[in-house]
Amino acid sequence: SDILVGANTPNIDNLTASGSFTWNAWTVRPSNTLAAIPSIFTGATPGVHGVTNWDGEIYAETFVEVFEEAGLPCAIVGEDPILGGYSATYCTNYYGHPQAEEHFMTLAIDLLRENDFYFVTVYNPVPDHMGHQYGHSSPEYREAIEDADYHIGRLVENLKELGVYEDTLIVITPDHGMTGHSHSHGYATDMRIFSVWHGPGVKENYQMVDNMYIPASATYNETYVAHRIIDIALTMTELAGVRAPWDAEGNVITQILAE
């Protein structure tokens, strides 16, 4: 979150200014992609969704499955094989490739232009890769974040060209933070993430209040945050008007809902 605040990210800034946002949300432990991405989609902690290795299977229901059950077609664009197996899902292993951001966003834009998807998600591995290689305070890490912002701008422009921008909910969130060259130790800088919500059903120009208590652990002091990463799934289903995933443990982020 701290690096994003200081980076040149005009497209994220525009979405933030006209949507709801926080620089102070909280991921799951262990604070790594393997645990966190399934938690985003299930609303469940790792002990419930059960993913323990890259060949693992999510044992908890995802909001993607709920959407598809309701007749709302979805596409997942990225490198994560854990989330494969659903209808209309695209997962391509591009980890570490310098053009991954462009590749994945181009695929997502093509899917939106050529199909009638209700939900499309794009996973961008490049900032994580650059953080591991160069460290979270490096110019390379900042540049990866700024490149991601550029491609978010491409998405916004295409949504406007398609005439659906005003009707589209855009959510931006990382799966974990970064401390130095790593993020799996559970430090506060590993756990703290941002989130941006923009579109129908969401308050405009609203910075979330830090009203959720996080107890202290061996690696960070007690704190208050705006929401947890496991709250994303239930907020998505609430905004879509469908039921929550059966195994979700989070809450709806009610403070961002437009009245």
What pLDDT shows up at residue 104? 86
pLDDT tens, 187-222?
999 999 999 999 999 999 999 999 999 999 989 999
pLDDT over threshold 60, residue 241 = yes
The structural domains of the chain, ordered by start, are: 2-256 (3.40.720.10)
Cα-based distances in Å from 227 to 42, 104, 155, 233, 245: 15, 28, 26, 12, 18
What pLDDT shows up at residue 94? 59
Q: How far apart are CA 242 and CA 165, in angstroms?
A: 22
Q: How far apart are CA 217 and CA 239, in angstroms?
A: 33
Q: How far apart are CA 53 and CA 149, in angstroms?
A: 30
What pLDDT shows up at residue 192? 95
Amino acid code (one letter) for 173: T
What pLDDT shows up at residue 165? 97
pLDDT tens, 101-134?
888 899 899 989 988 889 998 988 888 888 889 9
What pLDDT shows up at residue 87? 46
> Can you say whether the dihedral through the CA atoms of 229, 152, 87, 66 is positive or negative?
positive
